[in-house]
């Protein structure tokens, strides 16, 4: 996508919607953190702009503030490569934990552009700034896009329980927001910390679940999954938990994994897939969907 098209989406008006290519006709394309390659991640401005392009499903991350509000953000603490203070100055280092800030304090920070010269700015040179963007509440995002589907990652780390609310507390807060928005039919809950999904399944068996994995969690299942390291294939572990969705890091995935997951009745939703050749290869293997920073590229294939 050229810069003029991106700029048009970020501004008032009627941007051109992208047409889905034939190769992706049956693939669940989910914009990662909105559409991080094009717009500031996990912001209302970014979600709205991506939706204007024709993106209908999104993967996002949630945390909880000190005053118990569920907000949409990937990082456990304010990220200095994304965050400016009320004076417009970049944070000099990692900021306070989200869990330590009230919502009013959190929303004093601007997350509408990437710090020039930072690694993430180099990674996403096409991202259009949206100065003034704030970290939104989950309730606001669900309300802003009432027809969109969301895969919601509940962010906890069993190695650092002090960084967040306990997994059951955070999961319950997320469920309360979902119910208040009458959004249960259009959300999936996922986590690397599988205590989250188990809690949700006990509380709300009607909520769809996805089971996130990456190489680190596969190597240490006793910590991340509360399971012994038996060497059992990951698709079998996900199926044993009840599925129905496995969300692996795409670099960890093989064609044999996809075949095994499919035989077990699992949908396979790899992340974060940004290169067209990787998208085509994974679709050829039979994945169900793709989580991508560049849904515009995926839609066009």
**Residue range 203-237, pLDDT digits in tens:** 999 999 999 999 999 999 999 999 988 889 999 99
* DSSP tag of 252: G
d(Cα 249, Cα 87) in Å, to the nearest integer?
38
pLDDT digit string (tens) for 97-120? 999 999 999 999 999 999 999 999
Bridge partner list, 58: 31, 150
d(Cα 161, Cα 94) in Å, to the nearest integer?
18
Domain with CATH 3.20.20.190 in the chain: 1-6+41-178+186-206, 207-301
d(Cα 89, Cα 71) in Å, to the nearest integer?
23
Our measurement of the distance from residue 37's CA atom to the centroid of its chain's CA atoms, rounded to an integer in Å, reads 13
Q: Is 284 helix (H, G, I), strand (E, B) or coil?
A: helix
pLDDT digit string (tens) for 65-77? 999 999 999 999 9
What are the phi and psi torsion angles at 114 (to 5°)? -90, 140
Mean pLDDT over 160-187 rounds to 99
Residues 219 and 255: beta-carbon distance below 8 Å: no
CATH 1.20.200.10 fits 1-6+41-178+186-206, yes or no: no
Q: Considering the domain 207-301 in this protein, what is its CATH number?
A: 3.20.20.190
Q: Please, which residues have CB within 8 angstroms of residue 195's CB and are 6 or more apart in sequence?
A: 156, 158, 167, 168, 226
**What pLDDT is stored for residue 16 in this prediction?**
66
Nearest to 292 by CA among 83, 48, 41: 41
């Amino acid at each position: 996508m050229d810069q003029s098209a991106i700029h048009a989406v970020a501004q008032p008006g009627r941007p051109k919607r992208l047409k889905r290519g034939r190769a992706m006709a049956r693939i669940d394309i989910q914009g990662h953190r909105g559409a991080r390659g094009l717009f500031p991640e996990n912001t209302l401005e970014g979600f709205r702009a991506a939706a204007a392009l024709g993106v209908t499903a999104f993967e996002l991350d949630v945390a909880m503030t000190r005053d118990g509000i569920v907000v949409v953000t990937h990082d456990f603490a304010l990220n200095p490569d994304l965050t400016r203070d009320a004076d417009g100055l970049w944070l000099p280092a990692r900021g306070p934990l989200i869990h330590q800030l009230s919502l009013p304090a959190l929303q004093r920070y601007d997350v509408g552009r990437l710090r020039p010269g930072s690694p993430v700015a180099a990674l996403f040179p096409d991202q259009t700034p949206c100065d003034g963007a704030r970290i939104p509440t989950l309730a606001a995002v669900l309300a802003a896009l009432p027809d969109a589907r969301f895969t919601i990652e509940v962010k906890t780390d069993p190695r650092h329980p002090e960084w967040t609310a306990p997994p059951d507390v955070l999961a319950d807060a997320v469920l309360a927001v979902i119910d208040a928005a009458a959004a249960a039919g259009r959300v999936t809950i996922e986590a690397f910390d599988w205590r989250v999904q188990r809690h949700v399944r006990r509380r709300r068996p009607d909520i769809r679940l996805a089971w996130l994995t990456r190489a680190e969690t596969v190597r240490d299942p006793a910590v991340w999954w509360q399971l012994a390291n038996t060497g059992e294939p990951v698709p079998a572990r996900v199926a044993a938990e009840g599925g129905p969705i496995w969300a692996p890091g795409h670099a960890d995935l093989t064609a044999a994994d996809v075949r095994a997951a499919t035989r077990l009745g699992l949908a396979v939703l790899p992340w974060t897939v940004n290169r067209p050749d990787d998208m085509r290869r994974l679709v050829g293997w039979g994945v169900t969907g793709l989580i991508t920073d560049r849904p515009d590229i995926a839609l066009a294939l």
